[in-house]
Amino acid sequence: MALLPIIKIGHPTLRKVAASVEIFDDTLQELVERMIETMRVNEGIGLAAPQVNVKKRFFVIDNHLIDEKMEAQVYINPEIISQDDNGLLEEGCLSIPGIRAEVERADIIQVRYQTIDGKQVTEELRGLLARVFQHEYDHLNGVLFIDRIPVLKRKLLEPQIKELEGANIIQ
């Protein structure tokens, strides 16, 4: 199966709000499988459709990296219903290579999403899975993790960010 190119900061798709998924078919299934493979080859824990230049509301998370009993999963048309217990943890992103920073996110979230066959699921996520879900969810709304770091820290990272944006503005 062919890997998908991951777009980098500076590409306009990363700043757009993605559209809802309306059609649950073999094309979507194949795209999800390719995203999972792309995520794993690039050693990511999550990958949102906008990161592979697909303007749709879904992402994949390699839950196996969080809990060995779990498999990679797709979250389609996700929503965060509630959140609680904020904490800081360092994050990175496949679309912003080489930059890592602490981000404050909820440790417990209540979410709703659709599965690959369109079934609606509501569940509570905790810890690392909750954090990764929020990171990928942000991608669906044109938000990057660097938008969530304190202004001073972002100023310190600005030269690296500008360099990445300049190198990746047209893809």
Helix (H, G, I), strand (E, B) or coil at 72: strand
Tokens matching residue 130: 């909750």
DSSP state of 5: P
Check 136, 158, 163, 165 and give the catalytic one.
136
165 in active site: no
Q: Which two tokens stand for residue 92?
A: 């990175």
Determine the residue type at 156. L
The answer for residues whose C-beta is within 8 angstroms of residue 11's C-beta and 6 or more apart is: 53, 95, 168, 169, 171
CA proximity to 140, closest of 82, 57, 78, 76: 57
| Whether 139 contacts 114, CB under 8 Å | no
Catalytic annotation, residues: 136
